[in-house]
């Protein structure tokens, strides 16, 4: 599919996403990035409370950390990232707060309801590289039960929604999770960013910037 056709198919899908009200406990609006024809797919967990008002994913503190990792690890800044890498998530609406005060994790029904959008994005983009961010996204892409310490810093070959691709996982950059600030997380995160920077699809993208 040409980049123009891909962007057009994603725009149609985004209109359907914008109109989705399938999950009664979710708080709108639906948040998605632009229709970027990219071979790199980033899968996050779900938007936080601020992303809806900005109208884009990773628009607040977790995003600041994530984009810093990319700038330091690959030389790709936030603006270039948003223009060239397709950003998706396990759920596209803010789940609200949990009783503990953090953001509620989407439940199984909500994940299932939102999965059809992810499956269609994968079918349209046919990514060469998927970057799941955080345990929920990692569970979705690689299957449940994998430990962060075993996965971060590796490249896995996965079949995701019927398409074979490389997977390089990242921990969640939210301030609520200390994993990436302590060992072995710190060292493994550097290793993961190096793997992303060295991936052929990322090298191609950087050459075109």
Q: Does 136 bind ligand SF4 (CB under 6 A)?
A: no
Q: Exactly one of 12, 22, 149, 176 binds ligand SF4 (CB under 6 A); which one?
A: 22
Q: Considering only residues 140-179, where is the footprint of ligand SF4 by CB under 6 A? A: none
Q: Does 37 bind ligand SF4 (CB under 6 A)?
A: no
**Can you list the pairs that 139-148 forms with residues at least 24 positions away whose Cβ atoms lie under 8 Å?**
140/43, 140/90, 140/111, 140/115, 141/43, 141/167, 141/169, 142/167, 142/169, 148/179, 148/185, 148/188
Q: Exactly one of 9, 13, 76, 93 binds ligand SF4 (CB under 6 A); which one?
A: 93
C-alpha gyration radius of the chain: 16
Q: Does 110 bind ligand SF4 (CB under 6 A)?
A: yes
Whether 119 and 160 have beta carbons less than 8 Å apart is answered as no
Q: Does 119 bind ligand SF4 (CB under 6 A)?
A: no
Q: Which is nearer to ligand SF4, 29 or 201 (CB)?
A: 29
Ramachandran assignment for 66, one of left (phi > 0), alpha (psi -120 to 50 degrees), beta (any other)? alpha
Q: Which is nearer to ligand SF4, 21 or 157 (CB)?
A: 21
Q: Does 12 bind ligand SF4 (CB under 6 A)?
A: no
Which secondary-structure segment (H or E) carries 112? Answer: helix 108-125
Binding residues for ligand SF4 (CB under 6 A)? 17, 20-23, 26, 30, 91-93, 110, 113-114
């Amino acid at each position: 599919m040409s980049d123009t056709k891909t962007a057009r198919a994603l725009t149609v899908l985004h209109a359907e996403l914008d109109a989705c009200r399938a999950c009664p406990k979710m708080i709108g609006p639906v948040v998605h990035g632009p229709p970027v024809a990219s071979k790199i797919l980033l899968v996050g967990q779900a938007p936080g409370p601020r992303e809806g008002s900005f109208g884009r994913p990773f628009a607040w503190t977790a995003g600041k950390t994530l984009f810093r990792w990319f700038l330091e690890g690959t030389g790709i800044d936030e603006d270039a990232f948003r223009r060239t890498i397709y950003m998706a998530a396990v759920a596209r609406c803010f789940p609200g707060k949990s009783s503990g005060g953090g953001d509620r994790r989407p439940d199984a029904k909500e994940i299932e309801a939102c999965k059809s959008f992810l499956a269609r994005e994968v079918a349209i983009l046919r990514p060469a590289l998927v970057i799941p961010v955080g345990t929920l996204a990692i569970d979705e892409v690689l299957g449940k039960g994998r430990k962060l310490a075993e996965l971060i810093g590796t490249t896995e070959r996965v079949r995701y929604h019927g398409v074979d691709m490389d997977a390089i996982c990242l921990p969640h950059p939210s301030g609520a999770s200390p994993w990436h600030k302590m060992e072995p997380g710190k060292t493994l995160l550097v290793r993961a960013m190096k793997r992303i920077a060295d991936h052929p699809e990322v090298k191609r993208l950087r050459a075109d910037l």
